[in-house]
Amino acid sequence: MNSSTADIPGSAEEIHRFDTEVEQLLGLMINALYSNREIFLRELISNASDALDKLRFEALTDEQLKGLDADPRIAIKVDAENHRLEIEDNGIGMSREEVIDNLGTIARSGTARFLEQLSGDRKADAKLIGQFGVGFYSAFIVAERVTVETRRAGLPADQGVRWRSDGKGEYTLEAIERPAQGTRIMLELSEDHHDLADPGRVRGIVQHYSNHVSFPIRMRGDTDDDGDAQALNDTQALWTRPKTEISDEEYREFYQGISGDFRDPATWAHHRVEGAQSYSMLLYVPGQAPFDLAWNRDDRRGLKLYIQRVFIMDAAEQLVPRYLRFIRGVVDSADLPLNISREILQDNPLLARIRAAVIKRSLDMIEKLATDGGEAWQTFQREFGNILKEGVIDSGEHRERVAGLLRFASSTQSEEHAVSFADYLERAGEKPEAIWYLTAESLAQAKASPHLEAFDEAGVEVLLLTDPIDAWLVGHLSEFKDVPLKSAASGEFGGDNASDDADDATRALCGRIKKLLGERVGNVTPSKRLRASASCITGEEGGMNLQMRRMLRQAGQPVPETKPDLEINPSHALVTRLADTEDEVLAAELAHLLLDQALLIEGGELADPAGFVARVNRLLAGDSTSGPASDDQTSLESS
């Protein structure tokens, strides 16, 4: 495919400016990836491979393109003398418009967010950029000038385009004659990188990064045709080979090829199913999460659907539920119709069965990681544990199975993500009343919670739920293995709502405090469970606890007005002081203090922190009878 190109008579170079985002990315990337420079070849080959996939896919349905995909290939030419490298494919190519869109802007939506995350620390940034996949622009890591010549398959030969740039803010466009469809990328290496124009180097890089690209990659000399040359890569689709013949190293390389992640996967599963329906799948659990996994709920990278070896599309959406969006791999069906569209896929019964199998195998893999334990499992928990929780919230289907994979901190265990519901039940003995949990903003806050006092004394374990998503999680999971989940803050433990057997004096005291606090509280009740603490907030069971309210507020959602219930410790000195005083101003100060401190411990914010501080100061200074008293509106600003 010697692409003789010629300028179209009368056509002139036009100068265009890059999008600012491109400029930013270029500047950052060239420095950050200097020591990782070899990835440019992986990126360009991966684009060539994508272009061949696209042509093949479009040729399935587009008469005009039929046959153009007959001999797909990627050719690399090394010109040591002039320090040049060329990568050429006969794939789908680009029209002029597409060149401008694809090589002048960054279309990907996450880019701005990504750029914000860069720290300026070269090593850390290089890692992030590597994960992000810098794509085409990585050519500028090694090249001082890049020329792209391309023609979209199906357009006439005179609709070729030449794009040139030195990566410094501008690029030029020019119409050219290009008989061959597809794209040729020519790099003029900068002086630091002249050593890359070496056939041995290039072969090594291709075999390292691109061995599992499914089209032949051949090296081309100056004159000879590449038609017969041996491919540098192993083009037989890995998943079609028998498991026993594939080494772990090959599995890992394949993962890196499809995921763009240069780290090793945590584990993988390779299955071939023959029968009424035949398909293969090769699934991976990554070692680490991509940087945007948590907020990018629509991440659809890396789970690829093939039909009879032909790449059809990235189809994670069709193949896995959201909470498994981190799974990477390929699924190859022998039975789905080749000319399938995304819409048809949506409710295809064959695909539904494959999807069920992918979910099952994915959960199997994760359960195996759990059983094996150790560092890999801990890493998994850290990286993906929270995503998995979405499975309890989103899907009824595998709720209990997914719930079984979750791990939490616990009031009786030292490690942070160590305890499963099953562990809890095992330790709790026969038929426990509940799986007790406490939601808090941090482990430290949870451990200091007054709600734990009675549990600790009774030797009852409490799971400490400290991730923001946990408040939702427990809202969706009411029981595990028929044992109800209950909040330790609900006031239910040990039937310890003491109102019923409280003496008259205590009941009167509660009534007095409620009156003093007015609109700020719901119920005020005596507590049996508080030991060291004077008061606590109760009643989040079934309702919305404080963290949940805060999350809603941060998300700009309306937060229902509710009043906190207050539980007081009748034997605490602060409470007895209140009980004993006849000074109503002092009593009001103390009552507000009991409520404010309970809110603070819960991680709540006070609507009037200044009022709180003033009150504490008045009490400490002993002049609380003279200051303004109960009229201030330190209300529960639904923290």
By the criterion CB under 6 A, which residues form the site for ligand ADP?
A: 43, 47-48, 50-51, 89, 91-94, 102-103, 133, 135-136, 183
Task: Tell me the chain's radius of gyration from C-alpha atoms.
Answer: 32
94 binds, among Mg ion, ligand ADP, none (CB under 5 to 8 A by kind): ligand ADP
Position among 72, 91, 130, 135 found at the interface with Mg ion (CB under 5 A): 135
Give the range of 46-54, 255-263, 362-370, 533-541 binding Mg ion by CB under 5 A: 46-54
Most distant CA atoms of the chain, gap in Å: 105
Residue 260 binds: one of Mg ion, ligand ADP, none (C-beta under 5 to 8 A by kind)? none
- Smallest gap from residue 108 Cβ to ligand ADP (A): 7
In angstroms, the CA 317 to CA 298 distance is: 8
Pick the closer one to ligand ADP by CB: 29 or 305.
29
Stretch that binds Mg ion, among 43-51, 254-262, 287-295, 312-320 (CB under 5 A): 43-51
**Minimum separation from the CB atom of position 554 to ligand ADP (A):** 32
Least distance between ligand ADP and beta carbon 226 (Å): 17
Q: Tell me how far, at minimum, the Cβ of 197 lies from ligand ADP, in Å.
A: 20
Nearer to ligand ADP, 75 or 94 (CB): 94
Least distance in Å: CB of 52 to Mg ion? 13
End-to-end CA distance of the chain: 67
* CA neighbor of 334 nearest in space, from 358, 306, 361, 355: 306
Query: How would you list the strands of the sheet with 303-307, edge to edge?
Result: 265-273, 279-286, 328-333, 303-307, 310-314
Q: Minimum CB separation from ligand ADP for residue 152, in Å?
A: 8
Least Å from the CB of residue 139 to ligand ADP: 9
| Residue 632 touches which member of Mg ion, ligand ADP, none, C-beta under 5-8 Å by kind | none
Nearer to Mg ion, 135 or 526 (CB): 135
The option from Mg ion, ligand ADP, none interacting with 93 (CB < 5 to 8 A, set by class) reads ligand ADP
Q: Name residue, tokens 């990681």.
A: 369
Helix count (H) and strand count (E) of the chain?
22, 22
- Site residue total, Mg ion (CB under 5 A): 2
Least CB distance to Mg ion at residue 427 (A): 50
Q: Residues 28, 32, 44, 47: which binds Mg ion (CB under 5 A)?
A: 47
Q: Which does 92 bind (CB under 5 to 8 A by kind): ligand ADP, Mg ion, none?
A: ligand ADP
Cβ proximity to ligand ADP: between 100 and 418 the closer is 100
Q: 635 near 519, Cβ under 8 Å?
A: yes
Nearer to ligand ADP, 40 or 424 (CB): 40
Residues 6+ apart with CB under 8 A from 552: 544, 558, 559
Please compute, for residue 430, the number of CA atoms within 13 A of its CA located in the half-sphere on the CB side.
Answer: 0
SS (H, E, C) 271-294: EEECCCCCEEEEEEEECCCCCCCC
Strand (E) or helix (H) holding 39: helix 39-59
Least CB distance from residue 47 to ligand ADP, whole Å?
A: 3
CB nearer to Mg ion: give 47 or 497. 47
Q: Which is nearer to ligand ADP, 103 or 312 (CB)?
A: 103
Q: What are the helix (H) ranges across 555-608?
A: 573-580, 584-601
Residue 214 found at the interface with Mg ion (CB under 5 A): no
> Please, are residues 488 and 455 in contact by the beta-carbon 8 Å criterion?
yes
Q: Which does 102 bind (CB under 5 to 8 A by kind): Mg ion, ligand ADP, none?
A: ligand ADP
- Min separation Cβ 310 and ligand ADP, Å: 18
- Tell me how far, at minimum, the Cβ of 107 lies from ligand ADP, in Å: 7
Chosen from ligand ADP, Mg ion, none, partner binding at 89 (C-beta under 5 to 8 Å by type): ligand ADP
Residue 386: name the closest of 435, 445, 303, 325 by CA.
325
CA angle 69–73–75, rounded 5-degree value: 145
- What's the CA gap between 174 and 7, in Å, rounded? 8
d(CA 181, CA 177): 11
By beta carbon distance, the residue nearest ligand ADP is 135
CB atoms within 10 A of CB 395: 15
In contact, 601 and 438? CB cutoff 8 Å: no
Q: How far is the CB of 102 from ligand ADP (least distance, A)?
A: 3
From the list ligand ADP, Mg ion, none, partner contacted by residue 435 (C-beta under 5 to 8 A by kind): none
Q: Tell me phi and psi for residue 27, to 5 degrees.
A: -60, -50
Contact flags string 95-134 toward Mg ion, x per CB under 5 A: ----------------------------------------
* Cα–Cα distances in angstroms (integers) from residue 336 to residues 55, 306, 388, 459, 522, in the given order: 19, 9, 30, 57, 61
- Residue numbers 417-446 binding Mg ion by CB under 5 A: none
8 A C-beta contact, residue 451 and residue 536? yes
In the bound state with ligand ADP, the residue whose beta carbon lies nearer, of 93 and 570, is 93
Parallel, antiparallel, or unpaired: how do β-strands 435-439 and 483-487 relate? parallel
Q: With respect to ligand ADP, which residue has the nearer C-beta, 183 or 624? A: 183
Site residues (CB under 5 A) for Mg ion? Answer: 47, 135
